[in-house]
């Protein structure tokens, strides 16, 4: 499933999202919201102007990384019996 993330260079939640995706071995395409055309594309697709915005297939999520993480994990099938696969104790 394709993962596309809209981020900004100074966004802490964007950095956390990218670290988590990389640590989980999930490939993604990153689009920089500081580019006006990319920003307008994201606004047209989602109706919001925030970072990060994450697309998993046709579904999209926005808000803090902590808010997005469980929804992204579920969309990617990373949830097993209420816990993320590979999540350490």
Residue 12 sits at φ, ψ, to 5 deg, of -60, -40
Q: What's the predicted TM-score (pTM) here?
A: 0.86
Element (H, E) at 51: none
Spatial distance between the Cα atoms of 3 and 10, rounded to a whole number of angstroms: 21
Q: Helix, strand or coil for residue 27?
A: coil
Asked if the model's pLDDT at residue 31 lies above 60, the reply is yes
pLDDT in tens, 58-81: 999 999 999 999 999 999 998 754
Binned at pLDDT 50, 70 and 90, residue 86 comes out as low
The confidence score (pLDDT) of residue 2 equals: 95
Q: Measure the N-to-C terminal CA separation of the chain; round to a whole number of Å.
A: 27
From the CB of residue 40, how many other CB atoms can be counted at a distance below 10 Å?
A: 12
Counting residues of the chain whose pLDDT is more than 70, the rounded percentage is 89
């Amino acid at each position: 499933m394709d993962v596309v993330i809209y981020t900004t260079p100074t966004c802490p939640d964007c950095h956390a999202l990218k670290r988590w995706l990389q640590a989980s071995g999930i490939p993604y395409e990153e689009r920089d919201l500081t580019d006006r055309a990319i920003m307008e594309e994201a606004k047209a697709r989602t109706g919001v102007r925030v970072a990060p915005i994450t697309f998993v297939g046709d579904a999209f999520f926005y808000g803090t990384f902590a808010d997005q993480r469980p929804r992204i994990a579920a969309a990617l099938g990373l949830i097993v019996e209420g816990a993320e696969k590979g999540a350490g104790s």
